[in-house]
Amino acid sequence: MEINGVPIEDTFAEAFGMHMNRTIITAYTEEWARVTATEATGFGTSVIMAPAEAGIEYVLPPEKTPDGRPGVRVVFAVGSKKALEPQLLARLGQCVLTSPTASAYDDTPNAKEQYVIGKKIAMFGDGFQTKKGPIDGRVLWFIPRMSGTCIMDNMFGRVKGVAGGNIIYCCEDVESGMTSGMAAVEAIEGVEGAYTPFPGGLVGSGSKPSSKYKVLFASTNEKFCPTLRAIVPNSLVPKGSEFVQEIVINGLSESAVAQAMKAAIEAVCSHSGITKITAGNYGGKLGEYHIHLHDLFK
């Protein structure tokens, strides 16, 4: 199978379940909402070492947000459900409450569980905070701060989502890899329910779930390293490829992840200098979701 002359390997991305929350962050401008969202999702790349896998899902116009201001939807994902509540408290309390004009509202669909987040963060108001609602079905906390009032939902939800969807693509050089990758991330941001947790959405250090060192449970995927092509047996880097990159995609559902993978492949293949597209899997031992690349285009 090929798209615009780029071979698409007949393989699958291996994904797994994670516990997720989706939150809308609003501010007085879209730019500032995105700045706040970027801070709130920081150090949220991979649970190999980061405390969460977090990222921006979607930009919302004012008419689509609870307070009629520009907004950015973000998703926070953790491996253990007991880890989600402290992550929400830390990220919303330290990155939204502190951001001038920013507020936060839960937007988790079909939540399996809810956490009292707003009441706890509202304690920052030191007794001057006020509780209002229900307002459009929400109980809200109004928290005074020097830059005005921060509005925070009282309850934030949890849902089981899918993480680890991915594509790996080989390129002739850095320029073709980065240009096509950024286009793919932009395409993914247009898919509701999916997001990319790594820096700018791109993964320059794709890993395998093993290591020669006992202290590590993940290490570089040497078969996709162009600099090791000559010395690694069965290298998967094609000749003429000097840059390999991965895009990891998480989402609120398997279908959202699959749709985002398809959008990413189409965006990458619309650029020149791409030599192959494949995906990361580990024999089905890592995750219960197997998203086959060729099936995305049936």
* Residue 184 sits in the same domain as residue 170: yes
Answer yes or no: are the C-beta atoms of 3 and 269 closer than 8 Å. Answer: yes
Chain segment 225-257, per-residue pLDDT in tens: 999 999 999 999 999 999 999 999 999 999 999
Say whether pLDDT at 277 is over 80. Answer: yes
Say whether pLDDT at 276 is over 80. Answer: yes
**Tokens 């395998």 found at:** 208
* Residue 71 sits in the same domain as residue 95: yes
Q: What is residue 72's predicted lDDT score, i.e. its pLDDT?
A: 98
The rounded distance, in Å, linking the Cα atoms of 90 and 120 is 11
The rounded distance, in Å, linking the Cα atoms of 205 and 230 is 19
Choose one of 101, 129, 159: the last residue of a domain. Answer: 159
Q: What is residue 90's predicted lDDT score, i.e. its pLDDT?
A: 98
* Residue 153 sits in the same domain as residue 110: yes
Check residue 237 and report its DSSP letter.
P
Confidence grade of residue 125 (pLDDT, cut at 50, 70, 90): very high
Q: What CATH number is given to the structural domain containing 178?
A: 3.30.70.520
Confidence grade of residue 286 (pLDDT, cut at 50, 70, 90): confident
The rounded distance, in Å, linking the Cα atoms of 295 and 298 is 5
Per the structure, the complete domain to which residue 152 belongs is given by: 19-159
Q: What is the 3-state secondary structure (H, E, C) of 78-101?
A: ECCHHHHHHHHHHHHHHHCCCCCC
Answer yes or no: are the C-beta atoms of 41 and 91 closer than 8 Å. Answer: yes
* Residue 192 sits in the same domain as residue 276: yes
Q: What angle do the packed helices 84-95 and 30-40 form, to 10 degrees?
A: 140
* Residue 34 sits in the same domain as residue 83: yes
* Residue 31 sits in the same domain as residue 9: no
Q: What is residue 133's predicted lDDT score, i.e. its pLDDT?
A: 87
Choose one of 110, 126, 159: the last residue of a domain. Answer: 159
* Residue 95 sits in the same domain as residue 188: no
Q: What is residue 207's predicted lDDT score, i.e. its pLDDT?
A: 92
Mean pLDDT of 135-139: 92
pTM of the model: 0.94
Confidence grade of residue 282 (pLDDT, cut at 50, 70, 90): confident
Chain segment 57-100, per-residue pLDDT in tens: 999 999 999 999 999 999 999 999 999 999 999 999 999 999 99
Backbone angles phi, psi at 27, to 5 degrees: -160, 180
**Tokens 């926070």 found at:** 76
Choose one of 115, 144, 159: the last residue of a domain. Answer: 159
Mean pLDDT of 136-158: 97
Answer yes or no: are the C-beta atoms of 209 and 216 closer than 8 Å. Answer: no
Chain segment 18-61, per-residue pLDDT in tens: 999 999 999 999 999 999 999 999 999 999 999 999 999 999 99
Residue 278's alpha-carbon distances to 8, 64, 171, 216, in angstroms, are: 6, 36, 12, 25
* Residue 153 sits in the same domain as residue 25: yes
* Residue 140 sits in the same domain as residue 231: no
Structural domain count of the chain: 2
Confidence grade of residue 287 (pLDDT, cut at 50, 70, 90): confident
* Residue 44 sits in the same domain as residue 98: yes
Backbone angles phi, psi at 164, to 5 degrees: 95, 5
Residues in contact with 70: Cβ distance below 8 Å, sequence separation at least 6, in sequence order: 26, 27, 28, 29, 30, 33, 59, 60, 61, 62
- The dihedral built from the CA positions of residue 2, 3, 5 and 8, taken in this order, carries a sign that is negative
**Comparing C-alpha atoms, which of 60, 45, 21, 63 is closest to residue 197?**
45
Answer yes or no: are the C-beta atoms of 60 and 73 closer than 8 Å. Answer: yes
Chain segment 152-189, per-residue pLDDT in tens: 999 999 999 999 999 999 999 999 999 999 999 999 99
* Residue 100 sits in the same domain as residue 45: yes
* Residue 7 sits in the same domain as residue 60: no
Confidence grade of residue 285 (pLDDT, cut at 50, 70, 90): confident
Say whether pLDDT at 203 is over 90. Answer: yes
